[in-house]
Amino acid sequence: MLDFLTLQTTSPDPAMLTAVYTVLVSFLLSTLVGVTYIKTFRGLSYSRNYVQGLILGSIVAATVMQAIGDSLARGLGMIGALAIIRFRTNFKDPKDILFMFSALAAGIACGVGAYIIAVVGTTGFVFTAFVLHFTPLGQTSHFDGMLRFNIENNDENRSELERILKTHCKKFALISLRDMKQGERLDYAYHIKLKRNKSNADLVRTLPEKIPSVKGVHLMLQETTVEL
């Protein structure tokens, strides 16, 4: 068992006071983790139940660790009890797993009385999460989005298309090309990154102006800081 900070009290029931204090500290720390998750969340499928699970899981972990104490028999019994439970929750985002581990770690540390470790560890985790949230570390900006359209299949259109893309795009990459109407038309799909002085509206407007035969112009922009 880890060395921990023992509550000094003259209460007639120090065990009760220690248990209440442990649950309270684990609740506060896991709430801090939950608030951090909310503030730094950048995905699409936000779950209120997950945030509540962070807090409840921390309290459960603290309670379990208090119940086990230094007893090997209790620990083995708890392992057997957990083996009966089937956990089928899938985490699609690695950050969700880490936030859950952080909340559980805070609860475990509180449960063994290591309050200082719990506070310092949770504070460090929260601080690092906010730093990573507001810095470009891990972000990629290879392309702004995908441009899709179809044009008549002739050399003049292909030459004009290449000129337009070079004018408006810092870089572009062909990801799909297929025949339409037995080769009379070509359907293109490009990954594009626009130049700083060019807008997506300019590109979408220029295509039909310069290539009258163009049809089905779709520009799907993506937010590079969001993982789909």
pTM here?
A: 0.58
pLDDT at position 77: 63
55 versus 43: which is more confidently predicted? 55
Residue 189 reports pLDDT greater than 50:
yes
pLDDT at position 41: 87
Read off the pLDDT band of 199 (50, 70, 90): confident
pLDDT at position 119: 95
pLDDT at position 34: 94
The residue extents of the domains of the chain are 14-133, 145-221
What is the phi/psi pair of residue 93, to 5°? -105, 125
Residue 112 reports pLDDT greater than 80:
yes
Rg (CA), the chain: 28
For the ranges 84-93, 151-160, 175-184, the lowest mean pLDDT is seen at: 84-93
Residue range 145-221 forms a domain whose CATH class is: alpha beta
Read off the pLDDT band of 102 (50, 70, 90): very high
pLDDT at position 203: 87
For the ranges 13-17, 118-122, 201-205, the lowest mean pLDDT is seen at: 13-17
pLDDT at position 54: 92
Read off the pLDDT band of 127 (50, 70, 90): very high
Residue type, 185: R
pLDDT at position 1: 40
Could you say which DSSP state residue 212 is in?
T
Using one digit for the tens of pLDDT, what is the confidence trace for 76-86? 666 665 665 56
Cβ pair 118, 110 in contact under 8 A = yes
Residue 7 reports pLDDT greater than 50:
no
* Cα separation, 104 vs 58, whole angstroms: 5
pLDDT at position 195: 87
Query: H helices within the chain, ranges in order?
Result: 14-40, 48-68, 72-84, 94-111, 115-133, 155-168, 200-210
Residue 138 reports pLDDT greater than 70:
no
Angle at the Cα of 8 (from 7 to 12), degrees rounded to 5?
Answer: 100
Angle at the Cα of 67 (from 63 to 70), degrees rounded to 5?
Answer: 125
Average pLDDT over residues 85-111: 83
Query: What percentage of the chain exceeds 90 in pLDDT?
Result: 32
Cβ pair 108, 78 in contact under 8 A = no
Query: What percentage of the chain exceeds 70 in pLDDT?
Result: 80
Residue 159 reports pLDDT greater than 50:
yes
Burial of 10 (0-12, 13-18, 19+ CB in 10 A): exposed
Q: Which two tokens stand for residue 212?
A: 């009258």
Cβ pair 22, 116 in contact under 8 A = no
Cβ neighbours of residue 214 under 8 Å, at least 6 residues apart?
149, 150, 151, 207, 208
pLDDT at position 84: 54
pLDDT at position 10: 46
